[in-house]
Amino acid sequence: MSAFIGLLKKDLSLMKFWYVVWLTFLFLGMIGVYALSVYTSEPSITVPFLVTMAGFHVFLAPLSVLTVLNIEGKTQLWLYNPQGSIKLLLSKISAAALVQLLAQFFISLYALFVMKVLMNEGVIDSFNNFLPWKQGFLMQLGIFGVSMYISIWVIFLWAVYHSLGKYPAIKNFRWLVVILVWVSYNLLEVLLAKTKLIQNMVFSFGVNINIAPKMDYGTNNSWNIIYTDANIPIMTILLYILLSVIFFFLSSWLLDRKVEV
């Protein structure tokens, strides 16, 4: 356990620079947009920035993972680490998850600040009219889940790319293979999703949750978010979790057997 914590601290340290850069731009954007809203006397312009930044956060963890992988690839730290590949990769996912959660915590605080400003200006009546706690939590959970799934794909494609480095004939064209793997998987996924068997097995079981947002600028010159039911396919989510586990272990296998960094 102590060895894993050591790996986690090392990965967090490697991610620190870009994480600080990310937060710096985030805070500067928050201050800039708020200053603009005060200058123009239009507090509602903070809302599009909030939505945009929340969406962009799905890329924070994948970029953090890619940063650490590239650093270790260039410095060959991988070759001199006695820990198994599963621990090495798990520490990176764990570090990225911590970074992601902390960033989403900050964006949640900013959301509270935006809603407080809108309430003070009379644009909204209450927090629940704009973003109820349940919907806010589920949205943050969705952002986190998508971010982690993309992070697993980053690790897998990185492992595929470096595993091809031992073959001189295609070494200079590895990036084409990586693109082909990504495109082929997505084409296969689309084709399978259209089959009746997959639709019956995967998409038939789901739950309706009042989470689908729709922005509405009412006649009373105030922002409202109208929430409607959205079908959450439980089997699809479980399938993506299973795929993430499979890709994680495939990455570990490639790292142990094939990768020379």
Given CA atoms 203, 178, 56, 16 in this order, what sign does their dihedral have?
Answer: positive
Angstrom distance (rounded) from CA 133 to CA 123: 19
Q: What is the pLDDT of residue 261?
A: 45
Count other C-beta atoms under 10 Å from residue 215's C-beta. Answer: 11
Judged against a pLDDT cut of 70, whether residue 100 lies above it is answered with yes
Judged against a pLDDT cut of 60, whether residue 64 lies above it is answered with yes
∠ CA 217-220-221 to the nearest 5 degrees? Answer: 50
- Which residues are bridge partners to 143 per DSSP? none
Two tokens, residue 50: 């909030």
Percent of the chain with pLDDT strictly greater than 90: 18
Contact 92, 68 (CB under 8 A): yes
Two tokens, residue 105: 């915590």
Top mean pLDDT of 10-14, 169-173, 244-248 is at 244-248
> How buried is residue 174: exposed, middle or buried, by Cβ count under 10 Å (0-12/13-18/19+)?
middle
Contact 247, 224 (CB under 8 A): no
Q: How many domains does the chain have?
A: 1
Q: What is the pLDDT of residues 23-59, one digit of tens each?
A: 888 889 889 988 988 888 887 788 888 888 888 889 9
Two tokens, residue 26: 């985030």
Residue 208 sits at φ, ψ, to 5 deg, of -90, 125
Judged against a pLDDT cut of 80, whether residue 116 lies above it is answered with yes
Given CA atoms 167, 168, 169, 170 in this order, what sign does their dihedral have?
Answer: positive
Top mean pLDDT of 19-23, 41-45, 112-116, 155-159 is at 155-159
Contact 228, 212 (CB under 8 A): yes
| pLDDT confidence band for 259 (50 / 70 / 90) | low
Angstrom distance (rounded) from CA 233 to CA 198: 12
Two tokens, residue 20: 């600080």
Angstrom distance (rounded) from CA 196 to CA 203: 10
Q: Where on the phi/psi map is residue 41: left (φ > 0), alpha (ψ -120 to 50), or beta?
A: left
Residue range 230-253: mean pLDDT, rounded:
85
Domain that holds residue 31: 2-257
